[in-house]
A and B are shown apart, each in its own frame.
Chain A
Amino acid sequence: MHMPIKKPGSHPARFAAVAIAVTAASLSLSVMGASASAKSAGPTLVVYSAQGYDSATVKAFNATHPGFNVTLNDNSTGPLLQQIQAEGNHPTWGVLWVDGAQAFAQLDREGLLAKHIVPKVSFDTVGRANIPADGSYVPTGLTATGALVYDSSQIKASQLPKTWADLLKPQFRGMVGMNDPSQSGPTYPLIAGVMSYLGHYRSGSTTAAVKAGEAYFTKLKANGLVINATNGPTLGAIAAHTIKMAIIQSSAGYGAEVSTSPTFRVAYLNPVTALPGVIGIDGKMPKVVQGEAQKFVDYVLSPRGQHVMQIGDPQGDSLFWPVLNGEKPANKAIPPLTSVPMQTTNPAVWGPLESRINTWFSANINNG
């Protein structure tokens, strides 16, 4: 009583269609198989990195170190730190490499970082200033946060503000923008740097410095400060002439200047805050992985590693100042570091305040 149903596959076209479908399915299954076998090969070094030049660096390291198979988790800083926090006492990361030392200070406090990993290389003054006493993390390059990126077709260099107090003057009303610290990684170090500078912070309690900083940003908002989420929309606002300048990370400004926005320039208020690219090793990993990680850190700070960092992301993160004697910036747009008035903040002091200060900023400056 069954109705006969013509079986598929008798036609050549159907045969080809089946062949295509089976081939595609087989390819996908082979991906799963390859992945599973990779996991069973034993612990290997995984680099968690938010640097634009990380892909190039990992590839170059593997190419020059036979037998190594370093892999990369390339993400923004936020998702990387979320993953590290969620992984807790069962970490997967072997090396963390992001801008800013605040997170490293926190990880060090929790005992998650390997100590004394600083390679025997010749750091310059700024490099040495960003190495902690226990050697639990290492600067690999330097940018400045709070750099004044402006459009030279809108405002001349001679008309720019020179100090942080200048930004509050009426002639700059509605002209200045910055990023939201809860969305943009380098912006909290900028706010912490401003607080530290305006509050004349040296040591001890940060209460007075935080109050001075909050008062400053409140006045800046009253003077028409424009907040955007990240570098992209903030630089876009300058390009659209919505604002004339913004206080953001120096490498973003140079990146715009050498690629999409040739009239953009970077100036520096006195002082800006050092934002080192920092690398650290997971102290909970097996010794063999820590050994691999150390080799990777050594490579990053070698002349070859520094060169790869400088060519890996030429319109973005590669636009940094090296922190090693004898190394020079990748692009002539970047001035000598000695010409930049730069301060360093203590990540162990300001790191723990990040969540509280960002919440205050969101409530009072973003939405206030």
Chain B
Amino acid sequence: MATELTTIPPPLANRRRRLSASSVVLWVVLGLLIIAPVVSFLLLATSPRLFQQGPQYFTLHYVAEAFGGSTGRGIVDSLWVSLTVSVVAVAVATTFAWLIHRTNVYGRRVWAVLMWLLLIVPTWMMTLGWSDLLQPYGAASFFGVNTHFIYGEFFGPLGIVLVLSTAALPFAYFVISAGMRGLGSEFEDAARIHGASRWRTWQTVLPIIAPAILSAFAISFAETMSDFGVAFTLGYHANFPMATFTLFNAISNFPANFPVAAVIAIVLVLSTIPPILLQSRVMRRRSYAVLSGRTRPARQREFRPLGRVGATAGISAVFLIALGVPIFGAVAGSFVTNLGIYSSGPVQLSTTFYQQVLHPSIADKSLAAPLVLSNQLGLVVASVTGLLAIVLARRLITNVGGWSQRITDVFLLGSVAVPGVVLGVGYIFFYNLSFITGHIVDLYKTLPLLMLALVANSLPGQTRFMAGPVGQIQPSLAEASRVHGASRWRTWRTTSLPLFSRVLLWGWLLTFTKTIAELAIAQILYPPSQEPASVTIQAYLANFQLGTGTAMTVLTLLEMLVVIVVALGLYRLLTPKGWRRIGWSGVKS
């Protein structure tokens, strides 16, 4: 009897062993993908000699250097901008999620699709669009609008916060939408039945989606901290240094100052810890699993006609600013040949730049082959990332354990804040070590290594993106399936996959599009003579051939949209109807 009491039943013991083994495998994968390359880079902060970047094995000299002058100012600027942007993005995203999912506002499908468009437009392109509109002799001046004073204001902290807020908005929106989608109307009904006013009802219901709100805040903060597009364009022109720009500046001279860049990268990573601590503190208090087999569709609030029009106008205005302006700017830049040029004449519209895409001025530098390669990269990277992200997201939301989950959480968000250039250079340091190339695997300057780096770059954000929807699926669903005799595979296929399918699809599309637009890692790690599209476009933009580069950018964005439409079509054709009615949805409200 005593033996029975103290002995762990065999199935549980096996389960623990399996869990342990799976943890080891997972951390080995993460180690090779992210930890080893990033740590290799970060170690340079105090030990530059480890990678032949200085004479010292240990020094704090570069720490002091990183916190002085404009470098130190960049860190402070990034912190307060990220904080402001996160608050703004979460507030707007929560309002939008409520309006789009819970009211009869016009065009709900359209807004959700536009939110996806906003997600795939790179921040540097947003800036380009604003600049094309507001610059002297820009698109606005062709319509007789004097933008002189706005132009000055835009190239400052105001413009930076504006563009970064619009960039963070979709991240926050999708996380909060997921939280709101899982929140059936029974909670609101219960509050109203007990006499709560509408405001009081929201005060009661909003804390239920606290994980989503905090998650949105954390991801917005980390994404903003790591953004380089705005720091390099608006921040630079406004003499407003931000951390990612000062990091880039530290390694743009020759010889590059990798140790100072490493110190800045450490600050970026550490800055994500407070939001995570806040989130995990809140989530430890209670369970937030609300999505189950009995979840009922939410009831819509019916606006009166005037309110409906007003709410729709508000959403339209935000999208006009966030998306309309940059797209208009980019399209104008690709068709107007005298944009930004002093001229008393009218707008000169031409397809010259698009013709130059087909017949590029630089020999053997067309967009076709690079774009095909980028799509292939996107296909592989998005698929691998999707699978890994689901595994990680499930670990992240598991309530048992504690330290492992917290470490995973800190690690993932910290990784979101790592700029691409740090990951890219870290991959060189680690995967080009003689020991690695000589005794383990020689992947440096190959497509597989570029794919690994792109997976590493996407995985943290993708996991955070999926954690919300995955966290709302009650474990009882899978347990019920298992109790009824289904195997693990069958349980996953028939119970979990239908609920995951839409978040997997949208997550896949997110990674696919981001992979095609990614520049920092591609520039550093692309295999010789196998240039991705982003590198080709950059070659034109940097070579005073802005029109051709912009036309290439527009075509690439169009191609991304086509892929999104095809993928959604395939999903519709391949999946049973039931899959499209349950679980998380990115578009359908």
Contacts and interface: CB of A to CB of B under 8 A. Distances in A.
Interface of A: 1-3, 5-6, 8-9, 11, 13-14, 16-18, 20-21, 24-25, 27-29, 31-32, 35-36, 38-39, 46-47, 52-53, 55-56, 58-59, 71-76, 78-79, 81-83, 85-90, 92, 102-103, 106, 182-183, 229-232, 235-236, 239-242, 252, 255-256, 259-261, 311-316, 354-355, 358, 362-363, 366-367
B20 interface: no
Nearest to A37: B446
Given A35-B448, A231-B544, A256-B544, A183 B239 contact: no
A248 B402 CA distance: 59
Contacts of A11: 573
B363 A313 contact: yes
A6 B578 CA distance: 10
Most chain B beta carbons < 10 A, residue from A11, A36, A59: A36
A239 B342 contact: yes
A354 B253 contact: yes
A18 B446 contact: no
Interface string B246-289: 00010111111110000000000000000000000000000000
A164 to B, nearest CB: 24
Nearest to A34: B447
B362 A312 contact: yes
Interface residues of B, number: 82
Contacts of A5: 494, 576, 578
B447 A32 contact: yes
Contact of A232 (B236, B253, B524, B544): B544
19 contacts: A21-B570, A27-B376, A35-B446, A35-B527, A55-B363, A73-B526, A78-B254, A82-B425, A86-B51, A86-B429, A88-B51, A232-B546, A236-B546, A240-B340, A252-B544, A259-B545, A312-B364, A354-B253, A355-B254
Given A32-B447, A56-B362, A232-B542, 17 more contacts: A5-B576, A13-B573, A28-B376, A28-B379, A38-B527, A39-B442, A47-B528, A73-B528, A75-B535, A78-B254, A85-B254, A85-B255, A90-B434, A229-B237, A232-B544, A255-B544, A256-B544
Nearest to A94: B528
Most chain A beta carbons < 10 A, residue from B249, B429, B443: B249
Contact of B362 (A76, A82, A316): A316
Interface of B: 51-53, 69-70, 135-137, 236-237, 239, 241, 249, 251-258, 337, 340-342, 361-365, 373, 376-377, 379-380, 383, 425, 428-429, 432-434, 437, 442-448, 451, 481, 484-486, 490, 494, 523-524, 526-531, 535, 539, 541-547, 566, 569-570, 573-576, 578
B362 A241 contact: no
A355 B257 contact: yes
A32 B363 contact: no
B257 A35 contact: no
Nearest to A232: B544
Contacts of A3: 494
A55 B445 contact: no
A72 B536 CA distance: 13
B256 A85 contact: yes
7 A-B pairs with least C-beta separation: A71-B528, A35-B447, A56-B363, A55-B364, A71-B529, A241-B342, A86-B428
B575 A8 contact: yes
B330 to A, nearest CB: 16
Given A2-B486, A27-B376, A32-B448, A367 B239 contact: yes
Contacts of A72: 528-529
Most chain B beta carbons < 10 A, residue from A3, A24, A28, A252: A28
Contacts of B239: 366-367
B545 A315 contact: yes
A182 B433 CA distance: 29
B136 A79 contact: no
A311 B446 contact: no
A367 B52 CA distance: 32
B574 A25 contact: no
B528 A46 contact: yes
B529 A58 contact: yes
Nearest to B44: A86
B341 A87 contact: no
A114 to B, nearest CB: 19
Given A90-B434, A362-B70, A83 B524 contact: yes
Contacts of A88: 51-53, 432
Contacts of B364: 55-56, 59, 312
Contacts of B135: 236, 240
B574 A17 contact: yes
A74 B135 CA distance: 31
B547 to A, nearest CB: 7
A87 B432 contact: yes
A14 B446 contact: no
A336 B444 CA distance: 45
B542 to A, nearest CB: 6
Contacts of A31: 373, 376, 380, 447
B425 A86 contact: yes
Nearest to B51: A88
Contact of B340 (A1, A29, A74, A236): A236
Nearest to A3: B494
A90 B254 contact: no
Contacts of A8: 574-576
A47 B445 CA distance: 13
